Amino acid sequence: MGSVNFAEEGMTFVLSCLKEYGGQTCMLGFFLAGFLYVLLCGSRKERYFFCGITGFLAVTIYNPLLANPVIKFMNMSAEYYRFFWILPMGFLTAWMCVKMAETQKTKGKKAALICLLFVILAAAGNPVISTFADLQVPQNKYKVPDGLLAVCEIIHQDSGDNAFPKSVFEYEYNTYVRQYDGNMRLTLDRDVYLLALGSNTVSTRNLSQEEVDAQRRIIDVIQYQNVSEDPSVLTAALKATQTDYLVISKSSEPVLAYLTAAGCESFADTGSHIIFRGP
Amino acid sequence: MTELIVAGIIFVFLFFIMFCLGNFVRLFEKKEKYSIGCRIVSGFVFYFFLFEIIAFPVMIARQPLHRLTMIWGSVIAFLVLAACVKFGKSWWEEWKARKLRGYSAGFYLMLFLIGLQCVFAALWTDNSPDAAYYVANVSANVATDTINIYEPFTGAMQETFYTRYLFGLYPVHNSVVCQLTGVHPLVLTKTLMSVAAIVLSYTVWAQVGKKLFDKREQVWMLLSFLSVIQFFFHTIYSNASFLLTRGYEGKALLANVILPFILYLGLCLFENIKNRSAWLLLFATTVAGVDISMSAMSIVPVAASAACLVAIIGKRSWKSLIYYGICMVPSVLILAVYLLTSKGYLTFHI
């Protein structure tokens, strides 16, 4: 878990993960309340389903004495939270709501209680979107920016017989482009880019230090607009990575000029981006 | 627009395939009554169980994607045909015997809330770094007609198969469907399969609900409450977040379909510890889960152990420990191969 460090937390790691998992919602509290209710008043089947399974997990995978060595051996501190998916937290809360609603005998009172429970669940939770503006109709059926479609088309038209051109994109397009176009090779590895952006949950896997350094030089220019070094440094990095094209936002004016100085030739303008041929 | 219509047809057809495969469960436990929902989810598990068994050796043998597509298409066509021949008459009799009954406001509210989630998932635009692997993997396989040979992040050719995702062939399945149908990987993964994940998830929870409640009305109410909770249990780590915003990932199916299904099988075993179809499905789930997401490698055995051992202890049916042991065999084997590969003792070269 990004914000919970296994080495630092030690025996409290599991509890810290559970708190992070519950986040800013009251789901943990509802789950515990439901657990206690079932334990005291539930049928045998309900006690098996909600309490028996939870109890088993509590003494095994959620038990720090057992869990910590397993986490360490499997190197899964970043993925440990996924064990909480086994707990039917949302389902138990919903089950409790049904039990409460069923205590009302008249339809009117039942409907009123159901509405109240809906409000409580909403108020005690954290919505998946903060405002309706966060949910926008995608620009196209691929759910990628329209500009990306245009960029890919232009590059493939220009690349001729080269069916797999290699390109540099800024972060957003770099993440999207191969999902849309499997023929587009990329200079910048996702994890090298994420590391450059400050991530601590990825690694560079089997890439050599030279490959990582060349990519970092390019990211330094296009992401951080670091144009203080001699353009020949960027030229060398682009040649070492065998980059065919670069796609840069028109708003990055210092970068555009720097790329030209590095020997890149701009040949297309999509309105939002300039496409360069590599040196 | 045409592609979206084709995607809609694929959606219906995928569920029909799962329904057909799920009918074979009836052969193992004739006394049990299986609802349509139960058959669909059982078929979903069998579908990915079979896919893992077929696709993994094809991948390791470095065969082109179209070969796997031909094999898989033939296998599914045969099984669907066999299901239609074997069960077609009983489907017709079930259809004739169905009771025409009205549905209450609770039912329509449930449908509305689930529909709202489907619309949300269909419209939601996610550009998380994980999509740069999972979806790009599908696109890379389709573009190059290969299976996991080219690295999804950059398109460079790999020297060995990526250990972290060695058995996780859900993206390969999506590649096969894209190649068979011509639908773009982004349309299939981020729209079709995201919506399918939601429908499957509620189908599983409905089966659990039917085990815990006597009346249909209570199950509709349960799913309505669960729908509201799913919208408001957003913590980036929660299963609800994965279901609504990252439904294209295998992890969303693992958290919201596979794991609840294991708990459902636990309930079936608690009711009847000798239920053969439940044991069989549990065995298949340990393989299908890993096919869908490599995280299942460790999580599914834990969930299955919790569901089975508590039921066995509750029923004092110690002989059932044998069935439990057999169900754990695939997980142990997969984990062993994974550990040997990640520690460098075993390598799958390309």
pLDDT in tens, A197-213: 988 777 777 788 899 99
Out of A36, A68, A98, a domain closes at A98
| Region of residue B225 (left: phi > 0; alpha: psi -120 to 50; beta: else) | alpha
Interface test with B, best of A37, A98, A152 (most B CBs within 10 A): A98
Give the helix/strand (H/E) hosting B76: helix B65-97
pLDDT reported for residue B324: 97
A230: distance to nearest CA of chain B, Å? 27
Residues in B closer than 8 angstroms to A27, CB to CB, are 229, 233, 238
- Say how far apart CA B191 and CA B197 lie, in whole Å: 10
The answer as to whether A134 is a domain residue is: no
Higher pLDDT, A86 or B132: A86
Structure tokens given for A200? 């601590």
> CA-to-CA distance for B251 and B193, rounded, in angstroms?
12
Closest by CA to A219, choosing from A174, A267, A262, A185, is A174
The reported pLDDT for the residue numbered B229 is: 95
Q: Is the pLDDT of residue A59 over 90?
A: yes
Rg, Å, chain A Cα set: 27
Residue B88 burial class via C-beta count within 10 angstroms: exposed 0-12, middle 13-18, buried 19 and up? exposed
Task: Give the β-pairing of A166-169 and A185-186.
Answer: parallel
Question: Is residue A103 assigned to a domain?
Answer: no
- CB spacing of B305 vs A56 below 8 angstroms: yes
Do the domain assignments include residue A1? no
Choose the mutation target among A14, A30, A76, A86 for the interface with B, i.e. most B CBs under 10 Å. Answer: A86
Task: Check whether residue A65 and residue A155 sit in a common domain.
Answer: no
| Closest residue on chain A to B226 (Cα) | A94
Q: Are residues A156 and A223 in the same domain?
A: yes
CA proximity to B232, closest of A113, A83, A130, A236: A130
Q: Is B239 on the interface with A (CB under 8 A)?
A: yes
Alpha helices in chain A (DSSP H): 6-9, 13-22, 27-41, 44-46, 53-59, 64-74, 89-101, 107-123, 146-159, 171-180, 190-196, 209-222, 231-240, 253-261
Rounded-to-integer distance, Cα B208 and Cα B268, Å: 9
The pLDDT of residue B3 is: 84
Residues A67 and A153 in one domain: no
Mean pLDDT within A183-197: 93
Mutate which of B5, B6, B127 to disrupt the A interface (most A C-beta within 10 Å)? B127
Cα three-residue angle B33-B38-B42, rounded to 5 degrees: 115
Question: What sign for the dihedral angle of Cα A213, A215, A221, A223?
Answer: negative
Q: Do B241 and A57 touch (CB under 8 A)?
A: no
Which chain B residue has its CA at the smallest distance from A132's CA?
B120
Residues A29 and A94 in one domain: yes
The Cα B264–Cα B42 span in angstroms is 11
Within 10 A of B223 (CB to CB), how many other CB atoms are there? Answer: 24
Q: What is the mean pLDDT of residues A241-251?
A: 95
Non-local (6+) Cβ contacts of A136 within 8 A are B123, B125
Q: Which residues of B touch A181 (CB under 8 A)?
A: 139, 143
Q: What residue ranges of chain B have pLDDT lower than 50?
A: none
Q: What is the pLDDT of residue A129?
A: 84
Give the tokens for residue B180. Answer: 């068979």
Residue appearing with tokens 């890379």:
B140
Measured between alpha carbons, how far is residue B350 from residues A56, A178, B151, B168, B341 in Å?
Answer: 42, 21, 12, 17, 14
- A108 falls in which pLDDT band (50, 70, 90)? very high
Average pLDDT over residues A7-22: 83
Output the pLDDT for position A98. Answer: 96
Residues in CB range of A72: below 8 A, 6 or more apart: A6
- Can you tell me the distance from the alpha carbon of A229 to that of B165, in angstroms, rounded to the nearest whole number? 39
- DSSP code of residue B258: I
Of B221, B232, B307, the CB nearest to A53: B307
| Dihedral in degrees, nearest 10, Cα atoms A235, A241, A246, A252 | -60
Rounded to whole angstroms, the Cα distance separating A80 from A17 reads 8
A23 and B298 within 8 Å at the Cβ level: the answer is no
Please, which pLDDT band fits residue A231 given cuts at 50, 70 and 90? Answer: very high
Quick one: pLDDT at residue B31? 65
Residue A77 sits in the same domain as residue A173 = no
The amino acid at residue A86 is: I
Using the predicted structure, report yes or no on whether residue A278 has a pLDDT greater than 70: yes
B187 to A142: CB separation less than 8 angstroms, yes or no:
yes
* Residues of A in Cβ contact (< 8 Å) with B222: 91, 94-95, 97-98
Which residues of chain A does B113 touch, with a Cβ-Cβ cutoff of 8 Å? none
Same domain, A155 and A76: no
How much is the pLDDT for B104?
83
Interhelix angle A27-41/A89-101, rounded to 10 degrees, is: 60
Note the pLDDT of residue B239: 94
Q: Supply the range of the domain harboring residue A65.
A: 6-98
My answer on whether A150 and A253 are in the same domain is: yes
Could you identify the residue written with the tokens 């390109």?
Answer: A167
Last residue of a domain, one of A62, A83, A98: A98
Q: Which residues have a Cβ under 8 Å from the Cβ of A117 and sit 6 or more positions away?
A: A97, A100, A101, B225
Q: Which whole-number Å values give the CA distances from A87 to A40, A100, A249, B202, B338, in the listed order?
A: 19, 21, 45, 16, 26
A58, part of any domain? yes
Distance from CA of A226 to the nearest CA of B (A): 24
Interface of B with A in 247-286 (CB under 8 A): 251, 254-255, 259-260, 263, 266-267, 270-271
Which pLDDT score is estimated for B95?
85
Q: Which residues of A touch B223 (CB under 8 A)?
A: 94
* Confidence band, pLDDT 50/70/90 cuts, at residue A72: confident
Give contacts of A52 with chain B, Cβ < 8 Å: 310, 314
Instruction: Supply B212's token pair.
Output: 């815990």
Query: Residues of B with CB below 8 A from A48's CB?
Result: 266-267, 270, 310-311, 314
Contact (CB<8Å) A178/B136: yes
Residues of A with CB below 8 A from B266's CB? 48-49, 53
Residue A226 at interface with chain B, using a CB cutoff of 8 Å? no
Q: Is there a single domain that holds both residue A178 and residue A237?
A: yes
Comparing B1 with A274, which gets the higher pLDDT? A274
Question: Which of A4-8, A201-205, A216-220 ranks highest by mean pLDDT?
Answer: A216-220
Determine whether the interchain pair B235/A24 forms a contact, defined as Cβ–Cβ distance below 8 Å.
Answer: yes
- A61, A81, A98 — which closes off a domain? A98
Per the CB < 8 A criterion, the answer to whether A19 and A26 are in contact is no
Nearest CA of chain A to the CA of B146: how many Å? 11
d(CA B203, CA B288): 17
Which residues 172-201 of A are in CB contact (within 8 Å) with B?
172, 174-176, 178-191, 194
Q: What is the largest CA-CA distance in chain B?
A: 62
Average pLDDT over residues A64-76: 87
Q: Does A165 map to a domain?
A: yes
Same domain, A87 and A197: no
In this structure, is residue A59 part of a structural domain?
yes
Q: Do A48 and A168 fall into the same domain? A: no
Within a domain: A77: yes
Report yes or no on A28 lying in a domain.
yes
- B186/A48 CB distance under 8 A: no
pLDDT at B129: 86
Q: How many Å apart are CA B219 and CA A93, to the nearest integer?
A: 14
Contacts B205 to A, Cβ<8 Å: 91
Q: How far apart are CA A202 and CA B269, in angstroms?
A: 41
Pair of tokens at residue B284: 């298949």
The Cα A193–Cα B132 span in angstroms is 12
The nearest CA of chain B is from the CA of A97 a distance in Å of: 7
> How far is Cα of residue A113 from the mean position of the Cα atoms in its chain?
37
Q: Which residue of A has its CA nearest to B209?
A: A95
Of residues A121, A92, A86, the one with CA closest to residue A31: A92
Give B-chain residues touching A61 at CB under 8 angstroms.
302
Say how many domains are in chain A: 2
